[in-house]
Amino acid sequence: MKSFTFTIKDKNGLHARPAGVISATSKGFLAKITIKCKEKEADGKRLLSVMALGAKCGQALEFEIEGKDEEEALSALKSVCEEKLGNDI
Amino acid sequence: MSIFKKKNTILSPCDGEIVELKNVKDELFSSGLLGYGFGIKPTQGEVFSPIDGVVTNAFDTGHAYSIEGDGIEVLVHIGIDTVELDGEGFSARVKQGDKIKRHSPLAYADLELITKKGYDTTTVVVIPTELKSPKLSLGNKKAGEIAIEYR
């Protein structure tokens, strides 16, 4: 299993657009992708599950990725996070 | 299974003109990556639930709601990029965990204010779960009229 933690910098938090990109990206991999935030847990491939985390600016998302393409999934999700949630705008 | 099984339908959430998702001015929604759906250009600000179900998420900002029921999930996103209004112009009529009937109030959006602030009020309904042979009905609709039929 691979994992990484990403702290949200976008002031709007994990809203529809970044959640959409995360779920669409996750769907492209075989690996099981779980995202944790505080006490909540989401299936990374399900848009509404990811949105329901209600993750806000400053909160940490913990990604857990398990499967044979976990390496590729990890790097894709890391760059999606940087691009969509990494800017303080 | 009963032959009288009701047709599966998703209702229009508001009064307005239904357009294809690909014509919505939001790349992510229009790409279809998030699921099948449609856009509606609302003519009045009262927004209703498209399905029977449970509100699985009501954003603090009042602009987006997810409802789960009838084996599907629906996201209702009021306006484009309206997360940036941080709640201004939106009043939620439900909260997370509420049971909701189709065509009962979900939220109110002050369309005039949202437009004045420079945002497109096009409301997007997407269904991230798979729909069997969905058929979209385009054009002007009243809230509660059938927007999508599926099997």
Domain count, chain B: 1
Give tens-digit pLDDT for B92-136: 999 999 999 999 999 999 999 999 999 999 999 999 999 999 999
CA trace torsion B112, B118, B122, B128 (10° rounding): -130
| CA B127 vs CA B28, B68, B77: distances in Å | 14, 10, 11
Spatial contact of B106 and B49, defined as CB atoms under 8 Å apart = yes
The SS3 call for residue B92 is: strand
Q: Which of residues 42-81 of A touch B (CB under 8 A)?
A: 46-48, 51-52, 54
pLDDT value at residue B4: 53
How far is the alpha carbon of A2 from chain B, nearest alpha carbon, in Å? 25
Q: Nearest to residue B109, comparing CAs of B86, B124, B88, B84?
A: B88
- Which residue among A16, A24, A46 places its CB closest to the CB of B64? A16
Regions of chain A short of the pLDDT cut 70 = 89
pLDDT at B80: 97
In this structure, is residue B3 part of a structural domain? no
Tell the CATH superfamily of the A2-85 domain: HPr-like (3.30.1340.10)
Does residue B2 carry a pLDDT above 50? no
Measured between beta carbons, which residues in chain A are less than 8 angstroms from residue B77? 16
- In-domain check, residue B1: no
- Distance, in Å, from the CA atom of A82 to the CA atom of A8, rounded to the nearest integer, reads 9
The Cα–Cα gap between B35 and B53 comes to 19
Residue B124 lies in a domain: yes
Given pLDDT bands bounded at 50, 70 and 90, which one contains residue B88?
Answer: very high
List B63, B77, B103, B141, catalytic entry:
B77
DSSP alpha helix (H) spans, chain B:
27-30, 111-116
Residues of A with active-site annotation: 15
Work out the average pLDDT over B23-37: 94
Q: Which residues of A touch B35 (CB under 8 A)?
A: 47
Judge whether A21 is closer than 8 Å to chain B, CB to CB.
Answer: yes
User: Between helices A70-85 and A16-27, what is the axis angle to 10°?
Assistant: 160
Q: What is the CATH classification number for the domain harbouring B96?
A: 2.70.70.10
State yes or no: pLDDT of B85 exceeds 80.
yes
What is the model's pTM?
0.91
B2 domain residue, yes or no: no
Chain A residues whose beta carbon lies within 8 Å of the beta carbon of residue B95: none
Identify the domain containing residue B135 by its residue range: 8-150
Averaged pLDDT, B17-26:
97
Residue B129 placed within a domain: yes
